[in-house]
Amino acid sequence: MADQKQSIHGVWASRWVFILAATGSAVGLGNIWKFPYMAGVYGGGAFVAVYLLCIALVGAPIMLAETVLGRRGRQSPINSLRSLAYTAKASPRWAWAAVMGMIAALLILSFYSVVAGWALDYIIGMGQGSFTGISGEGAATRFATLTDDPWRLAGWHSLFMLVTAIIIARGVVAGLEKALRIMMPMLFVLLVALFGYSLSTGHFMEGVRFLFHFDLAEVPAGILAAMGHAFFTLSVGVGSIMVFGAYMPRESSIAGTVMTVALLDTLVALTAGLALFPVVFAAGLEPSAGPGLMFVTLPIAFGNIAMGQVFGLLFFMLVAVAAWSSAISMLEPAVAYGVERSGRSRVAVTAAIAILCWLVGMGTVLSFNVLAEARFMVADESGWRLFAWTDAGGKTFFESIDYLTSRILLPLGGLAFCLFAGWVLSRDALREELSLQHPQLFPVLLCLLRYVAPAGVAIVFVTELFK
């Protein structure tokens, strides 16, 4: 019998709003900022190939699992898992997967807010015309000046976090939908326009070759990075999609919806990559520049095309919006849980969590300047240490949080959600939630959830261990 429970936090007006919210969550800095620089660091094609494979075989099935669990549970991810486990007579400990996810989402938000702050800074820069006619070197210096200044970073980080908290405190259903309806298509149009520019650089094919040149020998280097990024870009493994699933109307079909979101997300990432790399090559920059890649290359493109200032301004505004629509989905699982658990108002809960997250984010702010030499997770000749003042080996604060979340917590969380949907939830419940138009697809999906996706995560972890 259908479970008629409703969420206390609200319900989307239709399936489309879920698509919008889930796409808003998925499409963000991960696609435009992180995907290109990671592809650059891990050598291009081999990374892209593993990433695409992981999206199809692991990420998308887990997104499906999360949506199903959310809509069935109708509460925050933690309480949804707890009540579903109870119904299935399974251990309530499954809820720990959602606790871990919730923490991972907040950790991601802490650095996401700092990077989104860079985009805010670039909006002003574009508005002032400070990129007009800029050279590759000039753009690199401009970026370094920004990251060297802790106060400037902290200011933008605070602003980004504040706005995220305000949207969440007011409830996601009303404000967000309108903005997303206009902004997401615009972002896409601008990306296509940039893509057009990169075609004109004369280095387009170099970009294509870099992203799609596949050499099996290069694969092992970036395999965990690529899988971690597949989780990151689809927003899976943390409960963000689950919490949005909890607000999904009863009647809508989940499988098609999830496919749409995963495809849109992939399309945006590939378009961003194809728009960026030709500019990188044309300007004689290194593809492996790291986190600054987008902030150095795109200004060169904008600084040297007709109307570049207007396009650039619009572009960074849209990046900020895409980042906000992702950021709220990182905060929502914790806020929904906090409200359910404490019975306090959404505003109070949001404020408390956002402040905590802001504080952790200050670690990332400082890791680009004052604490640039501080290293965590250091492994060198003298053994393994959590912290050291050394620039040999080890990761900065920002890199550690990024590593811990994308490469460890997200895949583990996703694995748990997927196993829960595949093995713990009853088959009938799963079938009913999926409400497939073509029932013959059910065994295929079940097989993906039960075997293929979990095996994918396991294989990548093991490969990484023995690398």
CB of 92 to ligand PHE, least distance (A): 24
Judged by CB, which is closer to ligand PHE: 31, or 400? 31
Judged by CB, which is closer to ligand PHE: 309, or 326? 326
Joined together, the tokens standing for residue 318 give 């849209």
Judged by CB, which is closer to ligand PHE: 26, or 445? 26
CB of 26 to ligand PHE, least distance (A): 5
Judged by CB, which is closer to ligand PHE: 291, or 308? 291
CB of 152 to ligand PHE, least distance (A): 23
Joined together, the tokens standing for residue 272 give 């961003």
Tell me which residue has its CB nearest to ligand PHE: 30
* Residue 309 · residue 131 · CB < 8 Å: yes
Judged by CB, which is closer to ligand PHE: 197, or 398? 398
* Residue 414 · residue 231 · CB < 8 Å: yes
CB of 31 to ligand PHE, least distance (A): 5
Strand 374-380 to strand 383-389: parallel, antiparallel, or no bridges (unpaired)? antiparallel
Judged by CB, which is closer to ligand PHE: 211, or 378? 211
CB of 236 to ligand PHE, least distance (A): 8
Judged by CB, which is closer to ligand PHE: 319, or 378? 319
CB of 47 to ligand PHE, least distance (A): 16
Closest-CA residue to 241 (of 8, 405, 436, 417): 417
Judged by CB, which is closer to ligand PHE: 36, or 303? 36
Judged by CB, which is closer to ligand PHE: 198, or 240? 240
CB of 379 to ligand PHE, least distance (A): 27
Interface with ligand PHE (CB under 6 A): 25-26, 28-31, 105, 108, 232-233, 235, 238, 240, 326, 329-330
Find the Cα–Cα–Cα–Cα dihedral 254, 260, 261, 264, rounded to 10°. 180
CB of 105 to ligand PHE, least distance (A): 5
CB of 329 to ligand PHE, least distance (A): 5
Closest-CA residue to 58 (of 414, 406, 405): 414
CB of 227 to ligand PHE, least distance (A): 14
- Distance (Å) of CA 168 to CA 14, 73, 77, 104: 20, 21, 17, 18
Judged by CB, which is closer to ligand PHE: 25, or 350? 25
